[in-house]
């Protein structure tokens, strides 16, 4: 008769969970990997559906990458971008622009009535009005109508053409550059008429430099008047900076542009006969036969 121990062991084997058919593979030894590589055996025992799913994933990746390439990349604004390796020229340019903006804002002490020098704003605005293009064009036309000498009319006609050239050139450059002033403010009525809307270059500085150089070259003035004329040109250019209309670099470039306009007018100076012809045409008294 079998012993009680053998009967008990058989009963244990029958009741064991690992003896069931679905768990028989767990009792078998690992093939090729031994007991130290359970992850490999489990990986090799994956179902065919999982293998097919893995093989199908690489084919789907190109479609995803193609759809991403089709999407347009989001571009950040230039002022929000940072160059990791900027050149020395770029660093110097940005540094000078930052210094220019900082100094121009500090010098705009008459930008508003609530500024530190707001009480002098009306006086500074009156000084800036003496260098306005409309003021000089109207004044030149009035003097031209009252002039009786050929030499005076010749000088005034060339000055009028120089003023028109200055207004048109500055307006064109401002439209191209479209630089705003250091303080956000709307242009005045006179500025809109003279097309002096943007900051670069400074129209008043250009006009003051051109007019002062023109008068110093074609009028006989005493030394104190010559000094006052140069001082007037500098103050007119500086007044626009104090009013917060222009940067310092705008004023400097305006002075340089005014000198360029003077040199250009000197090279194309109109003679007295040509000026008389233009005056006759403007007054509708010109006759081509006489």
pTM of the model: 0.66
Q: What is the CA radius of gyration of the chain?
A: 43
The tens place of each residue's pLDDT in the chain, 290 residues long, gives 555 566 566 666 655 555 555 555 555 555 544 444 444 444 444 444 444 444 444 444 444 544 544 555 565 555 445 555 568 788 888 888 889 889 988 888 888 888 888 888 899 999 999 999 999 999 999 999 998 899 999 999 999 999 999 999 999 999 999 998 888 788 778 788 878 888 899 999 999 999 999 999 998 889 999 999 999 999 999 999 999 899 999 999 999 999 999 999 999 999 999 999 988 887 766 544 44
Which two tokens mark 226? Answer: 């010559």
Q: Computed from CA positions of residues 270, 273, 276, 277, in that sequence, does the dihedral angle turn out positive or negative?
A: negative
- Burial category of 230 from C-beta neighbours within 10 Å (exposed 0-12, middle 13-18, buried 19 and up): middle
* Catalytic residue, candidates 204, 218, 247, 261: 204
Closest CA to 183 of 258, 138, 257, 246: 246
* Catalytic residue, candidates 132, 218, 246, 261: 246
Closest CA to 204 of 169, 156, 251: 251
204 is catalytic: yes
261 is catalytic: no
Contact 217, 169 (CB under 8 A): no
Q: Is 246 helix (H, G, I), strand (E, B) or coil?
A: coil
């Amino acid at each position: 008769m079998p012993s009680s121990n053998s009967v008990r062991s058989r009963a244990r084997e029958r009741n064991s969970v690992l003896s069931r058919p679905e768990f028989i593979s767990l009792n078998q030894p690992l093939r090729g990997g031994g007991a130290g590589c359970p992850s490999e055996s489990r990986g090799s025992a994956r179902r065919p559906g999982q293998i097919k799913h893995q093989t199908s994933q690489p084919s789907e990746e190109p479609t995803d990458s193609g759809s991403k390439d089709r999407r347009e990349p989001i571009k950040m604004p230039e002022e929000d971008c940072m160059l990791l390796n900027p050149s020395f020229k770029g660093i110097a340019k940005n540094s000078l622009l930052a210094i220019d903006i900082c100094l121009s804002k500090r010098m705009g002490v008459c930008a508003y009535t609530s500024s530190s020098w707001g009480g002098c704003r009306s006086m500074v605005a009156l000084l800036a009005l003496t260098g306005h293009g409309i003021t000089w064009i109207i004044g030149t036309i009035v003097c031209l109508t009252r002039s009786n000498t050929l030499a005076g009319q010749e000088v005034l006609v060339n000055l009028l053409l120089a003023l028109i050239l200055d207004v048109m050139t500055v307006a064109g450059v401002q439209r191209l550059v479209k630089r705003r002033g250091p303080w956000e403010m709307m242009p005045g009525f006179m500025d809109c008429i003279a097309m002096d809307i943007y900051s670069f270059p400074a129209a008043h500085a250009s006009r003051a430099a051109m007019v002062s150089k023109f008068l110093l070259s074609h009028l006989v003035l005493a030394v104190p008047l010559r000094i006052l004329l140069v001082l007037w040109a500098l103050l007119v250019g500086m007044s626009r900076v104090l009013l917060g209309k222009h940067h310092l670099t705008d004023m400097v470039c305006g002075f340089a542009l005014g000198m360029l306009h003077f040199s250009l007018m000197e090279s194309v100076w109109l003679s007295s006969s040509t000026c008389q012809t233009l005056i006759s045409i403007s007054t509708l008294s010109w006759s081509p036969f006489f």
